[in-house]
Amino acid sequence: MALFLLGRPSDLPLAKDPSSRFLAWITALMVFLAALALAGAMVVSDMARRWDNGLAGGLTVQIAPLPGAPVAPLDERVEAALTVLRAAPGVRTATALDAAATARLLEPWLGPEAGDPLLPMPRLIDVATDGPVDVPGLTLRLKSAAPGATLDDHAVWLADLRAFAGAVHLAALGVVGLIGGAGVMTVVFSVRAGLAIHRHVVELLHLMGATDRYVSRQFETHVVGLTLRGGLIGLLLAVAALAGTLRASQELRASLLPDLALAPWQWAALALVPLAAALLARMTARWTVLRTLESLP
């Protein structure tokens, strides 16, 4: 890699080509965008995995206060709901959250006022399941025993979250694919421009006994060196942008934001993006040079 970054002696003066001035910077932009797309996909995947592990196989019952209505007090309705839940097939545990725990859950939306005792707060019951549950039938029994009760099945919106995460992954792969395609076209243009500019030198090398593969290696070394330098610049810019976003998110008091921190293996995966770009550029340069030289007389 050091040889590619520092440059190697070449029989072709490719470093003076006009196209060489832009290939490194275009690669830097492409690696920057690809790294951000991959990082976003990994953050969304981690968020979906945490929510799935924490909420899969669970239900939430909410019992709303009904002031002025001819119904039992809120605490009595909570006890009635607990009795129904604990007797339901498939329910392992049912635990009622106290007012303080409910206020902590609602604080991201309502702020510190969520703990105001004068604010009519619903009571929540956390339900853990260990088997299939008849959600429609259980909902009817809960509403009959505890008016104002609603049942939230986590599986419904967890399925939506999985679908969203899958869509983000597909979008990220699409962005990376488009960036890779643009990179291939850029390398093809740069290599063909270099062949056109130095055609007389290539012909002279052929007369001296140089093979097409030898000429191809000249372009491969040149293109890989530019791509690596540009890729490292793009990677550094992406790391700086991700670090700045992470620091800004940590200073916010919005607990609804996903955790933007990346694991060490995820940072390592991002570090491979410039290497992947260099490998793609080398393969493209080889293919372009060999195909072009085959068509020459």
pLDDT of amino acid 109 = 64
**Using CB atoms within 10 A of its CB, is residue 289 exposed (0-12), middle (13-18) or buried (19+)?**
buried
| Model pLDDT, residue 13 | 64
**How far lies 292's CA from each of 87, 193, 213, 216, 224, in Å?**
77, 11, 12, 10, 19
Output the pLDDT for position 41. Answer: 85
Helix axes 154-197, 199-207, angle to 10 degrees: 70
| Per-residue CA distances from 26 to 20, 99, 172 (Å) | 10, 56, 19
pLDDT along the chain (297 residues), means of 10: 48 68 88 91 80 70 76 82 88 84 72 67 84 85 87 79 83 88 90 81 76 84 90 94 83 58 88 93 90 74
Per-residue pLDDT at 236: 96
Distances (CA, A) of 166 to 41, 104, 114, 257: 9, 31, 34, 19
User: How high is the pLDDT of residue 6?
Assistant: 44
